[in-house]
Chains A and B, each alone.
Chain A
Amino acid sequence: MEHSPVPRHLRYNDRMKSITVDRVMADQRAAAFTKRSIKTSAKESGLRLALSMVDLTTLEGKDSPEKVRSLCRKAILPDANDPTLPHVAAVCVYPELVPTAFEVLEGSGVRIASVATGFPSGQYPLDIRLSDVRNAVESGADEIDMVISRGSFLAGDRGKVFDEIASIKDACGEAHLKVILETGELETYDLVREASDLAIAAGADFIKTSTGKIAPAATMGVTLVMLEAVRDHFIKTGKHIGVKPAGGIKTSKQALHYLVMVKETVGDDWLTPDLFRFGASSLTNDILMQLARRRTGRYMAGHDFSEA
């Protein structure tokens, strides 16, 4: 980046000491959260909280306006049989479908998130990625889920990645920026931690694990490393950064494990959709099924709920 729009004092310092993460112990810690036993009232309130944190997502080439409208209705009223349930946090779609989502969601409290910046690979020139962002924001997106250039990052050009994030943040204007690290391509926890610190320093409002297009997507271990980065930043600066695991979280039980991890790593402040999200699609119906069981005493079938 020859002409970085980022002021020099904000630029990424390559000599920043990166923090190492020991994978064995980090995984062990992450696994410990799954041993918590969440029952009765805690289960119910946890599931309601998890539902309110869902970014209901559809990111397929064949997505139609009809599907997005249906998704938006689901987002506003997840289960018609239980109007006491909260709406989900956001609907997440490709930029092309943001106007469709906007028609349904305007004024509902459900936010519109859009993947942009050449999702999912990020392998596009910066000007195209920036215009992708501006276009999504102009169409009504409240939140932008960007992908970092893993190529540049892995090649060691951290400064370039930093500058890109900063310029995209700038292009977001009022919209919140979620930075997708695509941890499945970074592989090591050391790099996940470094990418987290970098994204936070460059202005991310949220850091997000994955696009959902690469396996492995979100794991407990990776999310723990990101939560630790967010926690350390908070201790240093007092600023809250959000975390969004995405991809692979399909069951209520998994969602509760993640909430336990949030509660015991960064504390109560983060138990809100403002600071923690699940990027998921099938999770919603599993939560609804569990909540319906608690309400009615009976297990529901999958077809009792509308598809998301």
Chain B
Amino acid sequence: MTDPTDQSTSKSTSADPVANGQSTPRRPKSKGRKGSHAGELNFGDAWDYAPAPESVKVEIAPSYGHFINGKFTKPGKTFATINPATEETLSMVSEGSARDVNKAVAAAREALPKWAKLKPTERAKYLFRIARRIQERAREIAILETKDGGKPIKESRDVDIPLVAHHFFYNAGWADKLEYAFPNRDPRPVGVCAQIIPWNFPLLMAAWKIAPALACGNTVVLKPAETTPLTALRLAEIFEEIDLPPGVVNIVTGAGDTGKALAEHKDIDKIAFTGSTGVGKMLAKTASKRGIKMTLELGGKSPNIIFEDASIDQAVEGIIQGIYFNQGHVCCAGSRLYVQESVVDEVIEKLTIRLKTLRLGDPMDKNTDIGAINSKEQLKTINQYLKIGDDEGASRITPSDKPLPKKGFWCNPCFFTGVQQSHTIAREEIFGPVLAVQTFRTPDEALTRANNTPYGLAAGIWTDKGSKIFNTAAKLQCGIVWCNTYNKFDPASPFGGFKESGFGREGGLQGLRPYVKL
């Protein structure tokens, strides 16, 4: 596997690793392995898969109000939520005003004493009911998630919605065991929690926030993202169905202004936010003025490090999972790839082959791997970054030559080679199916460059050697390290960031901490 004509690896290992740090000029990777491409694989359309659309119809009301105090309000001033794959309007959703937010917070405040004092086993029962009802309605919710957000039905069906149910189940289990989670500490609810969530995993983010809050006896006002409010509203229907006491969870839809009104509301006790670092910083200012509790789960530019002794085919699979899952709309996406120089040609060759087999198109088709970009704005952002990458001198490789659908928002999965650590595409979060590939020679160099970022959310390590996994993982400055895998989620496992990727943990025992006073 090692290129016999490439002597650079052995030379560099004997060099001073510090001198080999981030300032090492990158040798242009122009000379390919001669004669190594004797066979060209053919991923054509022999035996093409027939369309396999998810055919179940899901009811969507023409317009929705907010869910406040256990009831849906009459739709007020509304805005459209569209299907990003077709640009069709799915429904009209209310834009939460300061008054709506007031009402929601007041309802949550009113519901708080009773809910907080409810026997913990009773709170658990509600959570179990929610979880079961989500499972029963999983297909419907998955379809709704895909229509509203553009992600492939395969992912909402197999990843998002099962995890949503799992989070409610998991936290239901904690509700009556909090004193064991925090032994000798007398855990009490924090109070009214304002929760603002993003559009990349709409219902999953709602579950991450609502489930531990309720388990710990808090009440909630949740604001879903403006482009993906439908599943949160469907969750509200489930709350109605299972007779969750009025006011325990309130859902106010709207855009940035609604979120701002909620975050600045005087009667909230805690803010939990998942989204961009820019907004997170603003919210931190707001919260700091009033000394309320806060957790932030923000952006990332997570490194995925492939050592030369890794199982390359599986590592390539990990790259795919890391950056092209959910069109790259993942805060912990492995958007910076660091490959040990001796295997970079092989990795790039295999990545290119693998990208050719990804199927981009109708998110409702069960065979679609890459769905639509969530919104026109996000597509614009991604395209800007693609241009910046080109302009700054990196080479963009887009292996698929298939045309994009005419309607909707689409971006072909691609990656950049010849990327420098100082390039914008290696430093800023793109939130799209765009990967920046860099090489390294020594483990130290990989670590230095992996940590050379304002972010610190996640990282991936690929090696066949156990000791290397532990050595590297211990020195990476980030909240999550995946070893020989990527983007694995479990409700029992805490998730959260270092540095500008935020603070506080969600999931696991640690995920309860932000929702209790001790």
Q: Which residues in A have some Cβ–Cβ distance to B below 8 Å?
A: 17, 19-22, 24-26, 28-29, 35-43, 45-46, 49, 228, 231, 234-240, 259, 263-264, 266-269, 271
Selected from A21, A39, A45, the residue in CB contact (under 8 A) with B311 is A21
Find chain B residues with CB under 8 A from A28 CB.
317
Given A37-B366, A235-B349, A236-B36: A26 in contact with B313 (beta carbons within 8 A): yes
Contacts of A37 in B (CB 8 A): 49, 52, 366-367
The answer to whether A24 touches B485 (Cβ under 8 A) is yes
Interface residue ranges, B against A (CB under 8 Å): 1-2, 36-39, 41-50, 52, 154, 158, 309-315, 317-318, 349, 357, 366-367, 464, 484-485
Q: Find the residue from B49, B309, B312, B357 having the highest chain A CB count within 10 A.
A: B49
Q: For the complex, what is the distance from the CA of A26 to the CA of B2, rounded to whole Å?
A: 22
Interface contact A235-B1, CB-CB below 8 Å: no
Q: How far is the CA of A229 from the CA of B366 in the complex (A)?
A: 29
- The closest CB in chain A to the CB of B44 belongs to A268
User: Contact at B484–A267, with CB atoms within 8 Å?
Assistant: no
Q: Do A21 and B50 touch (CB < 8 A)?
A: no
Q: How far is the CB of A13 from chain B (nearest CB, A)?
A: 13
Closest B residue by C-beta to A224 = B313
Bound together, the chains give a CA A266 to CA B52 distance in angstroms of 23
In whole angstroms, what is the CA distance A22 to B465 when docked?
11
Collect the chain A residues with CB atoms within 8 Å of residue B464's CB.
20, 22
Which residues of B have CB within 8 Å of A263? 43, 46-47
Interface centre among A20, A43, A49 (most CB of B within 10 A): A20
Bound Cα distance from A32 to B310, whole angstroms: 21
Q: Tell me if A231 and B41 are in contact (CB < 8 A).
A: yes
Given A21-B313, A25-B317, A269 contacting B49 (CB threshold 8 A): no
> Which residue of the partner chain, among B38, B46, B313, B367, contacts A271 with CB atoms under 8 Å?
B46
List of B residues within 8 angstroms of A49 by Cβ: 47
Other-chain contact of B52, A24, A26, A39, A269 (Cβ < 8 Å): A39
Contact residues in A for B49 (Cβ distance below 8 Å): 36-38, 42
CB distance from A46 to the nearest CB of B (A): 6
Residues in A with CB closer than 8 Å to B42 are 267-269
Report Cα–Cα, A39/B366, bound state, in Å: 11
Contact A268 B313 (CB under 8 A): no
Question: Would B311 and A22 count as touching, CB distance under 8 A?
Answer: yes
Residue of B41, B42, B154 with most partner-chain A CB within 10 A = B41
Q: How far is the CB of B74 from chain A (nearest CB, A)?
A: 41
Neighbouring A residues of B158 by C-beta, 8 Å: 35
Q: Tell whether A42 pairs with B39 under 8 Å between CB atoms, given A19-B1, A19-B312, A36-B367.
A: no
Docked Cα-Cα span, A35 to B49, in Å, equals 13
Query: CB < 8 Å: which of A40, A236, A259, A264 contacts B357?
Result: A264
Complex contact B484–A42 (CB within 8 A): no
With a cutoff of 8 Å between Cβ atoms, the chain B residues found around residue A46 in the complex are 47
Give the Cβ gap from A134 to chain B, nearest Cβ, in Å.
Answer: 33
Chain A residues with Cβ below 8 Å from B309 are 20
Q: Which residues in A have their C-beta under 8 angstroms from that of B315?
A: 22, 25
Contact A45-B36, Cβ < 8 Å, known A19-B311, A29-B317, A235-B41: no
Contact B314 A25 (CB under 8 A): yes
A7 to chain B, nearest CB (A): 22
Partner of A234, one of B41, B313, B349: B41
Residues of B within 8 A of A40 (CB): 50
B2 cross-chain contacts in A, Cβ below 8 A: 17
Q: How far is the CA of A134 from the CA of B372 in the complex (A)?
A: 59
Given the complex, which residues of B lie within 8 Å of A41, measured CB to CB? 50
Distance in Å from the Cβ of B353 to the closest Cβ of chain A? 8
Q: Which residues of B contact A36 (CB under 8 A)?
A: 49, 366-367
Whether A22 contacts B484 by the Cβ 8 Å rule is yes
Which residues of chain B are near A25, meaning CB under 8 Å?
311, 314-315, 317-318, 484-485
**Residue numbers in A under 8 Å from B314 (CB-CB):** 21-22, 24-26, 29
Query: Does A268 lie within 8 Å of B46, measured CB to CB?
Result: yes
Interchain CA distance A260-B39 in the complex, whole Å: 21
In the complex, what residues of B have CB within 8 A of residue A22's CB? 310-311, 314-315, 464, 484
Cα distance A286–B242 in the bound complex, in angstroms: 45
**CB <8 Å contact, A259 and B47:** yes
Residues on B with C-beta less than 8 A from A42 are 47-50
Contact between B349 and A24 (Cβ–Cβ < 8 Å)?
no
Min CB gap A248→B, angstroms: 23
Q: CA of A298 to CA of B513 in the docked complex: distance in angstroms? A: 59
Contacts of B317 in A (CB 8 A): 25, 28-29
Does A235 lie within 8 Å of B36, measured CB to CB? yes
Q: Which residues of B contact A21 (CB under 8 A)?
A: 311, 313-314
CB proximity of A276 to chain B, nearest CB, Å: 12
Alpha-carbon separation in the docked complex, A20 to B50 (Å):
35
- Chain A CB within 10 A, most for which of B2, B47, B313: B313
| Chain B residue with Cβ nearest A260 | B49
Question: Which chain A residues border B52 with CB–CB below 8 Å?
Answer: 37-39
Interchain CA distance A26-B318 in the complex, whole Å: 10
B47 touches A236 (CB 8 A): no
> How far apart are B403's CB and chain A's nearest CB, in angstroms?
20
- Among residues of A, the one whose C-beta sits closest to the C-beta of B45 is A268
- In the assembled complex, the Cα of A41 lies from the Cα of B51 at a distance in Å of 9
- The closest CB in chain A to the CB of B313 belongs to A228
Determine whether the beta carbon of A266 is less than 8 Å from that of B41.
Answer: yes
Q: A240-B39, A268-B45 are in contact. List 11 more A-B contacts (CB 8 A).
A: A22-B310, A26-B314, A35-B158, A37-B49, A39-B52, A234-B41, A235-B37, A236-B36, A236-B38, A238-B39, A263-B43
Can you list 23 A-B pairs with a CB-CB distance of less than 8 A? A19-B311, A21-B314, A22-B311, A22-B314, A22-B315, A22-B464, A24-B485, A25-B484, A37-B52, A38-B50, A42-B49, A42-B50, A228-B313, A234-B38, A235-B349, A236-B39, A264-B357, A266-B41, A267-B42, A268-B44, A268-B46, A271-B46, A271-B47
> Is the pair A239, B39 in contact by a Cβ cutoff of 8 Å?
yes
Say how far B37's CB is from chain A's closest CB, in angstroms. Answer: 7
Closest residue of chain B to A35 (Cβ to Cβ) is B154
Given contacts A21-B314, A22-B311, contact A234 B366 (CB under 8 A): no
